[in-house]
Structure 1
Amino acid sequence: MKDKAKGLCRVEERYTQWKSLVPVLYDWLANHNLVWPSLSCRWGPLLDQATYKNRHRLYLSEQTDGSVPNTLVIANCEIVKPRVAAAEHISQFNEEARSPFVKKHKTILHPGEVNRIREFQQHNNIVATHTDSPQVLIWDVEAQPNRNAVLGAATPSRPDLVLTGHRDDAEYALAMCPTEPYVLSGGKDKCVVLWSVHDHISTSAVEAGSNDKQGSIIGGNNEKGAKSSSIGPRGIYEGHTDTVEDVQFCPSSVHEFCSVGDDSRLILWDARVGSSPVVKVDKAHRGDLHCVDWSPHDINFILTGSADNTIHLFDRRNLKSGEVGSPIHKFEGHDAPVLCVQWNPEKSSVFGSAAEDGIVNIWDHDKVGKTTADSTDSKEPNTSPGLFFRHAGHRDKVVDIHWNASDPWTIVSVSDDCESSGGGGTLQIWRMMDIIYRPEEEVLDELEKYHSHIFECNS
């Protein structure tokens, strides 16, 4: 108990220090207190653009205690454009309140907890969810009716499509192909399963004929049918010896994908050559692997995050089956298991990581090995190579992060605050000051311009 109290005290001290620095570190920040914990947050499409802010779709989950149904929340979020917010506005947020920038648009009563949410990039209104079951659930969020999560609420909302094929619960590993309507999943059955929603489209087109509903790849759902449509897998891939924790498509191929699991393995697959692994790295980390992301900028780069508190950057050209993984670099900057890694959608060398230590780290692997005279002479403890920003706005484990593709330096992050506060969660939307990530020469030129302008005004 004493150790836990000391830990909470350190977290509060860190948070207080972080909060005092918010006006100088952030271009914009919104803090949204959640009544229930959330395990997943994802950006949807850009909805509207205005002079000073844009409106985006945001998906998040609410994990209740069972007194009311679990929900999939579709929210509309206003994001202030770069260099618009004033420092006073940024600093005057209330961590105990709900942000006026985040508004619920629709609530879907989810059958079970929402462990993962993933969106179809080709179809803005379609999302997939994982829960504590073998199925993957597909939702048309526009066609789904709005439901209220109240005490004694009726039956859950009915998904528009159910993907079957796992033999045991598949709770976390979930990915959508960026180029085609394909879905990938992993589960406790140690399998990776692949589906094509095209298979359902073909069947629906034949069955619906001229009455086929337009505007949705899955036909919509008016909740009046007896049960949801379902489809089986295109392929089932076996090579793991423990639970598959995360999966990811190669950004340039619907046939190539990778998976990681509690067996410490990183496996690369190619559906064109069968159901056996193409490359199976038996020891990619010293602990369980929780997350993986494949670079959208260079298809040879793959990131993995682990229970050993580290992130590894692999070059798939150097991977060999049956061996210990040899990463290009090992990133060490977390004090607890890494739960999420994701590449920045704009700058190819930048990625983010979130962990159980309550920190979101932003890295640039191009900075690894580069030092300056100031850093070598400094008496400060050595920082982790490549680490250039630490977001310490959460006070408990950060379970998910997502860069905004339409606003590439804006991040949504969510923490499960049950350990620190006994319940609820914190959703934060933030963008660091651009002088932190822009090229040094460009920043210095701009600062010199302002220096000259101020000097002229004073003279």
Structure 2
Amino acid sequence: MGKDEEEMRGEIEERLINEEYKIWKKNTPFLYDLVITHALEWPSLTVEWLPDREEPPGKDYSVQKMILGTHTSENEPNYLMLAQVQLPLDDSENDARHYDDDRSDFGGFGCANGKVQIIQQINHDGEVNRARYMPQNPFLIATKTVSAEVYVFDYSKHPSKPPLDGACSPDLRLRGHSTEGYGLSWSKFKEGHLLSGSDDAQICLWDINAAPKNKSLEAMQIFKVHEGVVEDVAWHLRHEYLFGSVGDDQYLLIWDLRTPSVSKPVQSVVAHQSEVGVSILNASFRLSHEDTCTCTHRHSRYLLYKFPFFVLVFPLFPSLQHYLN
């Protein structure tokens, strides 16, 4: 494919995305109770709400924080960011009949005082692939970087504006991977236990409570069974020793830390079957209540697992397939 043809195809895809966005925006009052949009300076590959929530006296809104990151061009600095969002209280009167987009950088409905504001920027080496807070101490945020290391920041110890020298100073550097990745999950049961999956086909487990050397910590355990990129990892929400992983090798693996071998998962399921060369891209899943696991991927299927007994496969609605391809 020639360069001109690639550019033309890119322009057509961009126009299609813009048209679909306009259609979505026009129909938001029929889909949601509240919509607030805010344009960021750079794309963010990650987003997560922080658990703290405040209700200013005499106001009809609450204030909540979220974690964001940047994905800038090569010559621009990257940041781990905290944003502050104003959300209407449940008993406030909202008008959801009209989407207000008079301003090009934001819009919305259902919230007269809706506002998104970046309140803290922390220097970060390269883009932030993923960021997750530790449940037991939300001030601690782990980030997946473009290098092999995983960073841990205590954002309460960093200024709201980053140093002008651009120096990245994480409070802890976690080592064990050889390449970048996206999988990241804190244990809700064991404080400081962090899982990570990367493009090196490995899963690393750290306990950040262990004594670090020069602000760096080696992995406590490394699991290497996947034969391709480990796209995502997640702890079970009810069983502290169980976690799962999905990879480009088309497998969903369930692990039990009580087993003596780190090279043998307790469950192994082919989550997707197709011709050679087609893999689970952008795979993600969630280990939820009881023994149920949900897994999605871009090849138009939604999978529900009740291990170890059965697997249910649901096709996605045709209208959703376009957004996953």
Q: Give the TM-score normalised by the residue count of structure 1.
A: 0.61
Q: 1:31 to 1:156 in 2, by over 3 A?
A: same
What SS does the corresponding residue of 1:24 show, helix, strand or coil? helix
User: In structure 2, what is the Cα distance between the partners aligned to 1:3 and 1:17?
Assistant: 21
The aligned amino acid for 2:230 is V
Report the Cα offset of residue 161 of structure 1: 0.9
2:297 counterpart of 1:313: no
Q: 1:22 to 1:87 in 2, by over 3 A?
A: farther
**What residue number does 1:64 align with?**
72
Report the Cα offset of residue 11 of structure 1: 3.4
**What residue number does 1:277 align with?**
265
User: 5 Å matches for 1:293-304?
Assistant: 293-296=285-288, 298-304=289-295
What SS does the corresponding residue of 1:159 show, helix, strand or coil? coil
Contact 1:70/1:109 (<8 A) preserved: yes
Backbone CA RMSD of aligned residues:
2.5
Among 232, 257, 261, the residue aligned to 1:246: 232
User: In structure 1, what is the Cα distance between the partners aligned to 2:103 and 2:43?
Assistant: 15
What SS does the corresponding residue of 2:156 show, helix, strand or coil? coil
**What residue number does 1:173 align with?**
183
User: 5 Å matches for 1:180-259?
Assistant: 180=190, 181-200=192-211, 229-259=215-245
Alpha-carbon deviations, 1:46-68, whole Å to 9, x = none?
A: 23124522111111011111333
Unaligned runs of 5+ in 1: 204-226, 320-325, 337-354, 358-459
**What residue number does 1:322 align with?**
none
**What residue number does 2:129 align with?**
115
User: In structure 1, what is the Cα distance between the partners aligned to 2:103 and 2:10?
Assistant: 22
> Whose RCO is larger (CA < 8 A, sep 6+)?
1
Deviates more, 1:187-196 or 1:303-312: 303-312
User: 5 Å matches for 1:133-172?
Assistant: 133-148=147-162, 153-166=164-177, 168-172=178-182
Q: Give the TM-score normalised by the residue count of structure 2.
A: 0.84
Report the Cα offset of residue 21 of structure 1: 2.3
User: In structure 2, what is the Cα distance between the partners aligned to 1:84 and 1:36?
Assistant: 33
The aligned amino acid for 2:227 is T
User: In structure 1, what is the Cα distance between the partners aligned to 2:281 and 2:240?
Assistant: 23
**What residue number does 1:323 align with?**
none
**What residue number does 1:55 align with?**
63
**What residue number does 1:327 align with?**
312
User: In structure 2, what is the Cα distance between the partners aligned to 1:155 and 1:14?
Assistant: 38
User: In structure 1, what is the Cα distance between the partners aligned to 2:300 and 2:103?
Assistant: 28
The aligned amino acid for 1:71 is Y
Pick the structure with greater CA Rg: 1
User: In structure 2, what is the Cα distance between the partners aligned to 1:31 and 1:85?
Assistant: 19
The aligned amino acid for 1:63 is H
User: In structure 1, what is the Cα distance between the partners aligned to 2:66 and 2:118?
Assistant: 9
User: In structure 1, what is the Cα distance between the partners aligned to 2:118 and 2:23?
Assistant: 31
> Identity across aligned pairs (percent)?
25
User: In structure 1, what is the Cα distance between the partners aligned to 2:102 and 2:48?
Assistant: 23
2:291 counterpart of 1:291: no
More helix by share: 1
Alpha-carbon deviations, 1:156-209, whole Å to 9, x = none?
A: 23111111112x213211111122221001112211111112224xx6xxxxxx
User: In structure 1, what is the Cα distance between the partners aligned to 2:156 and 2:97?
Assistant: 33
Among 40, 49, 52, the residue aligned to 2:46: 40
**What residue number does 2:23 align with?**
17
Report the Cα offset of residue 75 of structure 1: 1.4
Q: 1:52 to 1:89 in 2, by over 3 A?
A: farther
**Residues paired across the two proteins, number:** 303
